[in-house]
Chains A and B, each alone.
Chain A
Amino acid sequence: MADTAAPSTFEHEALPHLDTLYRVALRLTGEPAAAEDLVQETMLRALKAWSSFRPGSNARAWLVTILRNQFINGWRARKRAPTAVDMEALPEPVDLSNPDPEGRFFRELVDDEVLRAVDALPEEFREVLVLSDMEELPYAEIASALDIPVGTVKSRLFRARRILQGRLRRYAEEAGLITPRGAAE
């Protein structure tokens, strides 16, 4: 039998991460069809570059790096320009003096509202939030995949959550799930 060690190892290492890659691609592109194309291109590129993968290193971070590079070099150039972010402006924390301080309103929001708010985040915040809070990657793995320091991961994540929590609270207010700030009896 021919030696098929490299490709079969690729299948073993890479295919288990298809769900993660697809979800990240979906949040980056905002479109299921584009996400599918991006994942397929990523896997083709990864397969070709498999000889450069260091055995024992983190395949998921390696694949996310390739996916992100494909997105930046191809998809983003065609589809979306990144939103400029004021890194100094820190959104206020959500005001817990409002009703529902334990965030029960989050459960009342439908998935589409939550995902739409995620998709509306500036790209550099969105990618960190998706990898951390949706895919539950460790800080070090996110830092490796995005090629930024761990401190930057933490800082962007902190800001991304504040922005998103504020938006979701506004959705909940608009839907009448909670009383708007300043309108309580």
Chain B
Amino acid sequence: MTPLPPVCEAALRELDALRRGELSAEQAAVLRAHLDSCRFCLGMERFERAFLDRLREAAADCNCPEELRQRIQAQCAQSSHGG
């Protein structure tokens, strides 16, 4: 696979900050303009959204077991009453 043009490599590095709203208005405008004109980077943005959705779903079912939660709550209560 041929190396990406530097402008695309730089754009891909900033996609995440764009999604998070952590770019300045000016930076965001530059990146959006690139996405409007670059099918590869726009495709990578869609691809990465699908990837992130799947990661969050995979993690969503792994909550703290109830028994552990109760044990920790009991320790907190013991600490607050027993010093």
Q: Count residues of chain A with CB under 8 A from any CB of chain B.
A: 52
What per-residue 1/0 map shows which CB atoms of B44-55 lie under 8 Å from chain A? 101111111111
Chain B contacts for A107, CB-based, 8 A: 50, 54
- Residues of B participating in the A interface, judged by any CB pair closer than 8 Å: 1, 4, 12-13, 16-17, 20, 22, 40, 43-44, 46-59, 61-65, 68-69, 71-73, 75-76, 79-81
Which parts of A33-81 form the interface with B (CB within 8 Å)? 36, 39-40, 43-44, 47
Question: Which of chain B's residues has its CB closest to A32's CB?
Answer: B65
CA distance A43 to B51 in the complex (A): 32
Complex contact A111–B20 (CB within 8 A): no
Complex contact B65–A36 (CB within 8 A): yes
For B76, give its contact among A10, A23, A26, A130 (CB under 8 Å): A10
Complex contact A96–B17 (CB within 8 A): no
For B46, give its contact among A6, A103, A165 (CB under 8 Å): A103
CA distance A39 to B46 in the complex (A): 35
CA distance A106 to B46 in the complex (A): 12
Given contacts A22-B63, A93-B4, A103-B46, 10 further A-B contacts (CB under 8 A): A7-B76, A7-B79, A18-B72, A23-B62, A43-B72, A103-B51, A132-B16, A134-B55, A134-B56, A139-B22
Complex contact A106–B50 (CB within 8 A): yes
The reply on A118 being an interface residue by CB < 8 A is: yes
Chain B contacts for A170, CB-based, 8 A: none
Complex contact B65–A22 (CB within 8 A): yes
- Residues of A participating in the B interface, judged by any CB pair closer than 8 Å: 4, 6-8, 10-11, 15, 18-19, 21-23, 26, 32, 36, 39-40, 43-44, 47, 92-96, 101-104, 106-107, 109, 111, 114-115, 118, 129-130, 132-136, 138-139, 154, 157-158, 161, 164-165, 168
For B71, give its contact among A7, A40, A94, A96 (CB under 8 Å): A40
CA distance A22 to B55 in the complex (A): 16
Chain B contacts for A19, CB-based, 8 A: 63-64
